[in-house]
Amino acid sequence: MPMRADELLDYLLDNRSSTFAAQCGEWIAASARFAAFVERCRDKIRKKVRALRDDEGQRDLLAELAVAYRLLLERQFTVEYETYAAGKIRGPDFTVSYKTHTLFNVEVKRLRASSRARGREARVLDATCDKLHQMPPSRANLLVVATDEPTDVPDVATGMKQLLARVERKDLDFLMRHGFRDARDFYSSYLRLSGILTGWASVSQPGDRASDMTSDMTSDMTSDMTSLWLNLQARHPLPPDLCRLLMRHGSR
């Protein structure tokens, strides 16, 4: 028998009163699929909650769960949480099954307010480099970049042009700072990145669904505040029908 929402929140939070409880409570009440996901993963989530040290960490975790909520709005998606952790491998946050036969990974990165002085495009550049190390080579990998405010969403296309320009210049200081030996080492990881999605992201409550994307596929799909940048060099590109679904569940 499924746990009641209040029982589930009490288990996750040990009766701690917080914004986290209010936000998760709204999502659990709004979506039976999300409630089932949280119950199934309750031990992992409880462990993460107990490890929180500050408000920024809480917002990071809320951003992860916000992405899970939005993925679970689509009934064709089955979402698993931290599947790579079982093999003690640092991997993406979510593994998603689409139409039972297409698997892709989703990694979430929230751009913290404390890093705003770096500029939006510089922050997404740094975030992408840091997350490339977590992307397995065996399937498509989607990076979801989260922000607290819609006005803080970065221009990913510009950020990625800046990133590739630095790599092409063989900026070794930059590459080594992000854990790459050289440009070749960078590209071996970069080819694992299938796309970057922005606009899902804020930790405020998701709203109603957006309409389907019907425009032609390009390397940068945009609908209202949601944008999907596609890596045209990716070893495992995201299928067009999957891209349309991701865009449909954005723009909250």
Q: Long-range contacts for 72-76 (Cβ within 8 Å, ≥24 apart)?
A: 72/31, 72/33, 72/34, 72/37, 73/31, 73/33, 73/206, 73/209, 73/249, 74/245, 74/248, 74/249, 75/33, 76/245
pLDDT tens digits, 150-205: 777 888 999 999 999 999 999 999 999 999 999 999 999 999 999 999 987 555 44
* Pair (132, 12) in one structural domain: no
* Pair (119, 233) in one structural domain: yes
pLDDT at 199: 85
* Pair (163, 40) in one structural domain: no
* Pair (48, 166) in one structural domain: no
Domain count, the chain: 2
* Pair (63, 130) in one structural domain: yes
pLDDT at 14: 74
* Pair (40, 152) in one structural domain: no
Residues in the chain with pLDDT values less than 50: 204-218, 251-252
pLDDT at 115: 61
pLDDT at 171: 94
pLDDT at 87: 63
* Pair (216, 163) in one structural domain: yes
pLDDT at 252: 43
pLDDT at 221: 57
* Pair (173, 189) in one structural domain: yes
* Pair (48, 59) in one structural domain: no
Domain that holds residue 202: 55-248
pLDDT tens digits, 44-56: 999 999 888 888 8
* Pair (83, 105) in one structural domain: yes
